[in-house]
């Protein structure tokens, strides 16, 4: 499990609950649910600092409330994960060589493990 991200405000050690980004072209500060990953141009804020947030004069603050229905994985997410695990656990079938390319490991379409070797497009002598 990854460590809890902390509030970006100086001297604040509380856990972050929201992410703040700025849309300079629209003069808008957007405060939304905590992003999945820390971004270099976004600020993670704790509950206290996200409630007290103010924007520069003339700017709008857009507060995006988290959707409670999306707070956890959905059944579709869990089914997709289960399918991916099943697919990864299946034994790999050997692919039949293409007609006329048997024995040529550099031929287009030849397979070696999970990689496919392709013939170079360069003309001879280059």
Extract the tokens encoding 43.
Answer: 């600020």
Tell me what pLDDT residue 1 has.
46
Asked if residue 108 lies in contact with residue 120, where contact means CB atoms within 8 angstroms, the answer is no
- CA Rg, the chain, in Å? 26
For the chain (length 126 residues), average pLDDT per consecutive 10?
Answer: 81 93 91 88 94 92 74 63 70 62 52 57 58
Beta strand extents in the chain (DSSP E only): 18-23, 28-33, 43-45, 60-63, 110-112, 115-117
| Domain boundaries defined on the chain | 18-66
Beta bridge partners of 12: none
């Amino acid at each position: 499990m990854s460590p809890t991200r902390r509030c970006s405000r100086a001297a604040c050690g509380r856990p972050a609950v929201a992410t703040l980004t700025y849309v300079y072209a629209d003069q808008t500060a957007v405060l939304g649910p905590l992003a999945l990953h820390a971004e270099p141009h976004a600020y993670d804020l704790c509950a206290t600092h996200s409630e007290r947030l103010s924007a520069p004069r003339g700017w709008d603050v857009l507060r995006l409330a988290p959707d409670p229905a999306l707070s956890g994985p959905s059944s579709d997410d869990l089914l997709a994960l289960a399918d991916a695990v099943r697919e990864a656990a299946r034994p790999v079938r050997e692919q039949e060589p293409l007609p006329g390319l048997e024995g040529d490991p550099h031929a287009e379409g030849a397979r070696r493990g999970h990689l496919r070797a392709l013939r170079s497009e360069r003309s001879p002598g280059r």
